[in-house]
Amino acid sequence: MSTTPFEKLITRNWGKPGSHTLDGYKKNGGYKALEKALEMGPAAIIDAVKKSNLRGRGGAGFPTGMKWSFVPRDSPKPKYLAVNGDESEPGTFKDRYILENDPHMMLEGIAIASYALDVHTCYVYLRGEFKKQAEILQKALDEAYQAGIFGKKLLGRDYPLDCYVVRGAGAYICGEETALLESLEGKKGWPRLKPPFPAVVGLFGCPTVVNNVETLASVPHVIERGAEWYAKLGPERSGGTRVVCLSGSVNRPGVYEIPLHVTVRELIESPQYGQGMPPGRKVKAVIPGGSSAPVLSGDEIDVALEFEALKNVQNMAGSGGVIVMDDQTCMVRALWRVARFYAEESCGQCTPCREGTAWQTRIIRAIEEGRGQPGDVEKLLNVVQAIAPYPPIGLGNTICALGDAAALPTHSFVTKFRAEFEAHIQEKRCPFGAGHHGWGHFGSGGFA
């Protein structure tokens, strides 16, 4: 671990005047990396991204350079870059702030990636609810066009590059990369069977790379400072820094850029991050990587918020959404809130997910409302196994990972907090509850 003070990368310009404008970005050294990249050439850029150990920041953590290298260089078809700004995973709100505070950092990453991948058309797909963010990004893009960064020439080079902002219309599934492509093609967001992977058959049947907003915003740093420097910031196999989103029962929720050795506990307690729990509360449980990640109990939170470290405890870094639950939280109700989300957002294509997400939600709700029957916990685990047969690992019975994402939290809540589920069934009520819509289930929240 390095002893030099931590240097922010992705969030370094946030809060500076005009950080969302071209002038502001350039004042802080912006678009220098693009100049350097154009000198390096495509092969060297891809090589640098590979060596940097940059991993996808959307949820799966796939090595970015490897993804880029899957694009067939000799394809006669046009190639596309699709940016995944569908950020909809409960507990996740970092891409939103990147778009609001520093859209040019991502645009510079887009320009570098496009040049490296022989892409001349890029679509930035933002979730439909990101109206303000789409407006900020469009303004930034207009500035970049006027400055000759996008458009007919890429920084004066004979390389046309167009970039369009597209808004979704409210569907979590469109964050799944092939559903995103379907949506970009003007269809409902039904994930595609893979293989073929998008790098070979993607948008309009053409080779396509799908990268997350933060991933692309990381690319200029890899190029500017060098792959080795970037790789050394993190542990083996994960380069750079990470932007995490802290929410729930904690004194200072928000977006924090952290070095990859910071643990869940440090994120919650440190004066520079979460500043601890509300008075008198203790950590009962934490979801470390967006609601699709298994839950950690309060005594499991000394784990670094990093891909391999979390994988080693059979969890996942996911989208960086860290949700903190305190000792007054009813875990059955918390799980019901999570399960309900997946039942709402299941696209309906695969039977195990479509039926399973709704079924588990009904069982959890019945338990929470005091209508649970002896044996319901086993039934719940059975439903979960029908969606994802190998908990706590994914690889389930469905085309995309939404089924796993719905099943694995349930498996972890039930196995780690089983006594609470059984108590609901035995007492025929929620032991935390203060009536329908009461405060009790979640302690006293912010709305009072």
Partner 1 sequence: MANEALFTPAEQMKFDQELSEILSHYPADRKSAAMLPALRLLQSIKGWLPPEGMTLVAERLETSVARVYEVATFYVMFHTKKPGKYTIDVCTNLSCSLRGAESLLAYLEKKLGLRAGEMNEMFYLRETECLASCGTAPCLQVNEEHYENLTRESVDELLGKLT
* 207 touches partner 1 by CB under 8 A: no
User: Binding partner 1 by CB under 8 A: which of 42, 128, 276, 431?
Assistant: 128
User: Binding partner 1 by CB under 8 A: which of 184, 223, 258, 380?
Assistant: 184
Packing angle of the helix pair 376-387, 418-427 (nearest 10 deg): 130
Q: How far is the CB of 189 from partner 1 (least distance, A)?
A: 7
* 432 touches partner 1 by CB under 8 A: no
404, containing H or E segment: helix 402-416
User: Binding partner 1 by CB under 8 A: which of 156, 170, 196, 375?
Assistant: 170
Give the span between the Cα atoms of 362 and 340, in whole angstroms: 9
Q: How far is the CB of 275 from partner 1 (least distance, A)?
A: 13
User: Binding partner 1 by CB under 8 A: which of 152, 157, 187, 282?
Assistant: 187
Q: Return the range that interacts with partner 1 (CB under 8 A); candidates 192-200, 251-259, 355-363, 387-395.
A: 251-259
Q: How far is the CB of 229 from partner 1 (least distance, A)?
A: 30
**Beta-bridge partners for 287:** 323
Site for partner 1 in 20-79 (CB under 8 A): none
φ, ψ at 222 (rounded to 5°):
-60, -45
Give the span between the Cα atoms of 89 and 87, in whole angstroms: 6
Site for partner 1 in 344-403 (CB under 8 A): 344-345, 347
User: Binding partner 1 by CB under 8 A: which of 64, 249, 263, 398?
Assistant: 249
Give all strands of the β-sheet with 208-212 in edge-to-edge order: 162-167, 121-126, 80-85, 208-212
Q: How far is the CB of 293 from partner 1 (least distance, A)?
A: 12
For every residue of 89-135, DSSP letters joined together read STT--HHHHHHHH-HHHHHHHHHHHHHHHT--EEEEEE-TT-HHHHH
* 280 touches partner 1 by CB under 8 A: no
User: Binding partner 1 by CB under 8 A: which of 12, 27, 167, 429?
Assistant: 167
Q: Which residues contact 149 (CB under 8 A, 6 or more apart)?
A: 31, 34, 107, 111, 155
Write out the two tokens for 393. Answer: 């690992």
222 neighbors 230 (Cβ within 8 angstroms): yes
Which residue's structure tokens are 């797909």? 125
418 neighbors 372 (Cβ within 8 angstroms): no
* 329 touches partner 1 by CB under 8 A: yes
User: Binding partner 1 by CB under 8 A: which of 63, 189, 289, 391?
Assistant: 189
User: Binding partner 1 by CB under 8 A: which of 245, 262, 358, 380?
Assistant: 245
234 vs 248, which CB is nearer to partner 1? 248
Which residue's structure tokens are 């939170």? 301
User: Binding partner 1 by CB under 8 A: which of 172, 230, 307, 432?
Assistant: 172
User: Binding partner 1 by CB under 8 A: which of 48, 98, 106, 171?
Assistant: 171
For every residue of 217-235, DSSP letters joined together read HHHHHHHHH-HHHHHHHSS
* 106 touches partner 1 by CB under 8 A: no
Binding string, 212-241, against partner 1, x = CB under 8 A? ------------------------------
Q: How far is the CB of 366 from partner 1 (least distance, A)?
A: 18
* 273 touches partner 1 by CB under 8 A: no
304 neighbors 260 (Cβ within 8 angstroms): yes
Q: How far is the CB of 369 from partner 1 (least distance, A)?
A: 13
* 132 touches partner 1 by CB under 8 A: yes
* 15 touches partner 1 by CB under 8 A: no
* 291 touches partner 1 by CB under 8 A: yes
User: Binding partner 1 by CB under 8 A: which of 247, 263, 360, 398?
Assistant: 247
Q: How far is the CB of 218 from partner 1 (least distance, A)?
A: 20
For every residue of 180-247, DSSP letters joined together read HHHHHTTS--PPPPSSSPTTTS-GGGS-EEEEEHHHHHHHHHHHHH-HHHHHHHSSTT--S-EEEEEE
- Residue 376 CB neighbours (<10 A): 18
Cα R_g (the chain), whole angstroms: 22
Give the span between the Cα atoms of 443 and 244, in whole angstroms: 24
Site for partner 1 in 133-162 (CB under 8 A): 162
Where along the sequence are the contacts to partner 1 (CB under 8 A)? 87-93, 95-96, 123, 127-132, 162, 164, 166-172, 183-189, 204, 245-249, 253-255, 287, 291, 321, 323-325, 329, 333-334, 337-338, 341, 344-345, 347, 437-439, 441-448
